[in-house]
Chain A
Amino acid sequence: MVVACLTLSGAVGVFGFSFGVGSVAAGASVWQTCALSLFVFTGASQFSAMSVIGAGGSLGSALGGALLLAARNGVYGLAMSRRLDGSLGRRLLAAQLTIDETTAMAVAQPNRREQQIAFWLTGFALLTFWNVGTLIGALTGSAIDPRTFGLDAAFPAGFVAMVWPLLADRRARLAAAIGGMVFLATVSFLPIGVPILLSVVGVLVGVQRPVPPPVGTEVSRP
């Protein structure tokens, strides 16, 4: 668990660095960049906001896309609330640490005690590495052109790593295909940032009930 946590932290540090560089390049100050990583602390939303602002999108569309992505942490919170104990203060602190990686590390553990250890350990390690990475990136930011080191490709590459495991599910693949196509179909004529918002229609795939796996007997349809 500790090894997995450290490997993850290293990657998150590098990702934080590219966020710091990119955020300063998109016009944010070093303080704003660091405040985003400390107080927002959910990478995909931060990258999304920065990417929309950097491309010249409006405040509203940058916020809309970023908040849509932040909504999933509410679902992770539901999953974690069944696994964490403690006072209200402790739960309010835990809430800030409830993100993709901490939830994934926690639910992968076999029992409640190890789930709690994994959650807090990963949470504080990521909080540290993400913010230190961001600070170094933000300070380096104005000194280098992110394009020279391909850092503009680091964001989508990180997103690929994040989304890939989800695509094992058929409905997620369909939602992803719809999201990507809606974006492509609308990017050229809608204001920057709005196509990202519209891509959320892909989740409507979830309205349909999951099809139970065939049991081997032929089902007759009316």
Chain B
Amino acid sequence: MSWTLVIVLALGAYAFKVTGLVILGGRTLPAVVERCLALIPAAVVTALIVKDTFTTGQDLALDARAAGIAVAVVAAWRKAPLIVVIVLGAAVTALLRHV
């Protein structure tokens, strides 16, 4: 991994935080922009979940991770705390790899 990534990501991430909190301050964005920005985590994080669960590189894969994440989804649905969801997802995946 390059330092360029570390530095650009650090500056970029801080720039977003400062823009919202310090520069724009109490001002409001156009409603349509706020609605779209608010949907970024749902769209992008879901894609990341799919990526880390069902792919290896550019290939689709169905392996122990799918079972681990299925259990994590059930735990999240049952409103389990964050730590329980993470540990269950990891533990189920690890266990299936050992059987």
Residues of chain A having any CB pair with chain B under 8 Å:
7-8, 10-12, 14-15, 18, 23, 26-29, 32, 35-36, 39-42, 44-51, 53, 55-56, 59, 62-63, 65-78, 80-82, 84, 88, 91-92, 94-96, 98, 100, 147-164, 166-167, 171-173, 175-180, 182-184, 187-189, 192, 195-196, 199-207, 210
- The B contact surface, by secondary structure, is helix
A120 to nearest B CB, angstroms? 13
A89 to nearest B CB, angstroms? 10
Q: A42-B13, A203-B39 are in contact. Are A160 and B47 (CB under 8 A)?
A: no
Number of residues from B at the complex interface, CB < 8 A = 77
Q: Which of B36, B87, B97 contacts A203 (CB 8 A)?
A: B36
Contacts of B62 in A (CB 8 A): none
| 3 closest A-B pairs by CB | A77-B20, A157-B89, A202-B43
New A-B contacts (8) at CB < 8 Å, excluding given A196-B44, A207-B35: A44-B41, A98-B20, A153-B93, A158-B85, A180-B47, A195-B47, A199-B46, A206-B39
- The A contact surface, by secondary structure, is helix
Contact, CB under 8 Å: A158 / B82: yes
Contact, CB under 8 Å: B40 / A40: no
Contact, CB under 8 Å: B37 / A75: yes
Contacts of B64 in A (CB 8 A): 150, 153
Contacts of A92 in B (CB 8 A): 18, 22
Contacts of A167 in B (CB 8 A): 42
